[in-house]
């Protein structure tokens, strides 16, 4: 399996926790989104870059497994790995690490597909611009 990895650190804000003082479960998907946005900015394949090429990439599948809690004020690290795919989809695997406790708090996966921005039709083949980007990317074998 080949992948490209990005890491970002986030300080958990009060607005991200529930009445028990722990991160509300829905915010983990927002952490995944933060990871994808960071990845896109650092690798030159942001949502805006994809949109300029005539596509949108909605999420069609998400998986999330919770491991340990995160509290207000904790620092976390979101590890985002773009997994190489031969299909016309974008697959990310994530790990959310609580740096305060040094424990993995969650892991998950998202899949996105390419839709033509004008017609909203599903792209059955990897768009040329994305294939070119993948051919030049710095993949890690793992």
State the average pLDDT over residues 80-87: 97
**Domain 2-135 has what CATH class?**
alpha beta
At 67, list the tokens. Answer: 């491991």
pLDDT of residue 142: 80
Please report, for the chain, the start and end positions of each structural domain, with discontinuous segments joined by +. Answer: 2-135
Query: Measured between alpha carbons, how far is 84 from 87 in angstroms, rounded to an integer?
Result: 9
Backbone Cα Rg of the chain:
16
Query: What stretches of the chain adopt beta strand conformation (E)?
Result: 2-11, 55-56, 59-66, 75-83, 89-98, 103-113, 115-116, 140-141
Can you tell me which residue has the tokens 């340990």?
68
Which of 18, 34, 49, 74 is an active site residue?
18
Residue 125 predicted with pLDDT over 90: yes
Query: Measured between alpha carbons, how far is 91 from 130 in angstroms, rounded to an integer?
Result: 13
Q: What is the pLDDT of residues 25-82, one digit of tens each?
A: 999 999 999 999 999 999 999 999 999 999 999 999 999 999 999 999 999 999 999 9
Give yes or no: 18 in active site: yes
Query: Measured between alpha carbons, how far is 88 from 30 in angstroms, rounded to an integer?
Result: 24
């Amino acid at each position: 399996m080949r992948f490209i990895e990005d890491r970002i650190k986030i300080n958990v804000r009060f607005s991200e926790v529930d009445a028990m003082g722990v991160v509300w479960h829905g915010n983990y998907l927002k952490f995944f989104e933060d990871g994808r946005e960071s990845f896109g900015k650092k690798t030159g394949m942001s949502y805006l870059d994809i949109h300029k090429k005539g596509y949108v990439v909605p999420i069609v599948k998400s998986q999330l497994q919770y491991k340990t809690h995160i509290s207000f004020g904790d620092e976390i690290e979101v590890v985002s790995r773009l997994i190489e795919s031969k299909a016309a989809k974008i697959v990310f695997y994530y790990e959310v690490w609580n740096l305060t406790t040094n424990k993995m708090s969650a892991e998950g996966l998202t899949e996105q597909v390419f839709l033509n921005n004008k017609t909203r039709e599903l792209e059955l083949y990897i768009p040329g611009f994305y294939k070119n980007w993948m051919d030049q990317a710095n993949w890690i074998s793992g």
